[in-house]
Chains A and B, each alone.
Chain A
Amino acid sequence: MDLHFETTKNALLRLCDPADLDRLRPHLRDTFLELRTPLEKAGNRIEFVYFPCSGLASVVAKMRGGDAEVGIIGFEGMTGSALVMGDDRATHDCFIQIPGEAMVIDASRFKAALDTSDTLRPLLMRYVHAFHIQATYTALINARCKIEERLARWLLMCDDRVDGNRIDITHEYLSVMLGVRRPGVTVALQVLEGRSLIHSRRGEVIIRDREGLIDLAKGGYGEPEAEYRRLVGEIAVQPQIVAQREPTR
């Protein structure tokens, strides 16, 4: 296993000061995270911090009336934001939505590295702030946008974080991700497919027209991503397959 190569696949580890990476490296392990692997549990102490190299983790807030996704973490980020901010507990559940590789470190080792470095926490705080900005846009969009616009934004955020243009997701989980009822998801997927923006099959969505989805998302996509680039750095660590706009029918 080439550990150095793996750490460069996560944007935050890649952007770390070399001395900080040396602090973390002895304690980082390479792991593969299967679908629905729990990474954090609401109210519980955070035991591990994950730096995804591929795949996608979802932060999901739960209440009696239903669950809704409040954060997306991929190769551009990390779990355990609370630790960076001085807390040691998870506010929400976090689990794997798209399986993938990650570098993992014990929370105690991670905190020790934060406490002995002058540069690690400032970098990670900028990421946590970008993650917070993502959540504020999710709040705005969930309050003001139509289901199909929310779906377009979510698909774009996934497309940024997965290799290729195929996203494995069931309608049932999409309904949690978007915080809407299942029938609304079924209709929104078919509306997007009717406009040739995606191809939707049982359990998977293929992005066909990224530009068209960006148009549809009406500014919900783009601003938080620009803020991430300003605060942390360029997001394009992995190769992206970006579909060209197809001629409109």
Chain B
Amino acid sequence: MALYYFDVDDNGTFYPDDEGTDCDTFDRVKEEAIRALVEMIKDSLPDGDRHKLVIKVRDDGGDLVLKASLNFEVEAEHRSYGGSSPDSHV
């Protein structure tokens, strides 16, 4: 087991992890980061057309070992529907 620190950058707001999590393998570190990104973005969206959520994982020595990020982006097309489209309920 080794301690890893999962620092979060949520749209530019930095949340440092000062407690660390024990993970036995690097695959566990990766899974934890990915699942956390999915859980957290679910809480944030919808909150606008852009959202960037990043998790950077440090090991006990302070070295960066993993960076996982989600980039959310919405782009409106020119011929956007006015709400009467038959597809609007899909």
Which residues of A pack against B, CB within 8 Å?
146-148, 170-172, 180-184, 186-187, 190, 202-203
Contacts and interface: CB of A to CB of B under 8 A. Distances in A.
10 contacts: A147-B40, A181-B35, A181-B39, A182-B36, A183-B6, A183-B40, A184-B43, A186-B17, A187-B40, A203-B19
Contacts of B15: 186-187, 190
A172 B5 CA distance: 12
Given A183-B32, A183-B33, A202 B39 contact: no
A148 B35 CA distance: 17
A203 to B, nearest CB: 8
A186 B8 contact: yes
Interface string B3-47: 000101010000101110110000000001101100110010000
Given A190-B15, A202-B19, A146 B32 contact: no
A183 B19 contact: no
Nearest to A175: B21
Contact of B8 (A180, A183, A202): A183
Interface residues of B, number: 17
B21 A184 contact: no
Contacts of B43: 146-148, 184
Interface in B24-74: 32-33, 35-36, 39-40, 43, 55
Main secondary structure of the interface of A (DSSP, over half): helix
B32 A187 contact: no
A171 B4 CA distance: 13
B55 A183 contact: yes
A190 B40 CA distance: 14
A5 B7 CA distance: 48
Contacts of A186: 6, 8, 15, 17, 19
A181 B19 contact: no
A32 to B, nearest CB: 27
A181 B32 CA distance: 7
Contact of B21 (A182, A187, A202): A182
A171 B15 CA distance: 14
Contacts of B8: 183, 186-187
A170 B17 CA distance: 12
Contacts of B21: 171-172, 182
Contacts of A172: 19, 21-22
A184 B18 contact: no
